[in-house]
A = this chain, B = another copy of it.
Amino acid sequence: MWYQKEISLKARARGFHLITNEILEHINEIKNISVGIVHIFIKHTSASLTLNENASPEVRVDLESHFNKIVPENALHYIHTLEGKDDMPAHIKSTMIGSYLTIPIKGGGLNLGTWQGIYLCEHRNYGGSRKIVITIFGE
């Protein structure tokens, strides 16, 4: 069984955001799958996807702070500066974190750990709505 759909995530502020529920709304089809994989793919190079702690909002704040330390704005070695001081750091963070997730499906649901949630990592100050391709496959 294969399903694929494209959705738009609502625009969010720069930072790390828990989007598990927004994703779950769009993948009702996994109820038909006993064993499979969900593939979640972001069609952008200045935002990324990850899994991390789904409880403490502080973890999301610290992730944003720390990636800003590792990948600062206005680094002297950047030559790609025309699209704004948040643009090149966004590209670097995108490659460090990644553009897609794969999560196992078991018994019609996501087989995540107790503390795992799906994050949108918005690296631009005004990234706007983000396009996501969700591909579900299994049996």
Contacts and interface: CB of A to CB of B under 8 A. Distances in A.
Main secondary structure of the interface of A (DSSP, over half): mixed
Interface stretch (A7-15, A19-27, A97-105): A97-105
A135 B88 contact: no
Contacts of A85: none
A97 to B, nearest CB: 6
A45 B39 contact: no
Contacts of A35: 2-4, 135
28 contacts: A2-B35, A2-B36, A2-B138, A3-B35, A4-B35, A4-B104, A36-B135, A37-B135, A37-B137, A39-B104, A41-B104, A44-B113, A44-B116, A45-B113, A50-B99, A51-B99, A52-B95, A58-B80, A61-B79, A62-B80, A62-B92, A66-B71, A70-B70, A95-B121, A96-B96, A102-B102, A104-B133, A104-B135
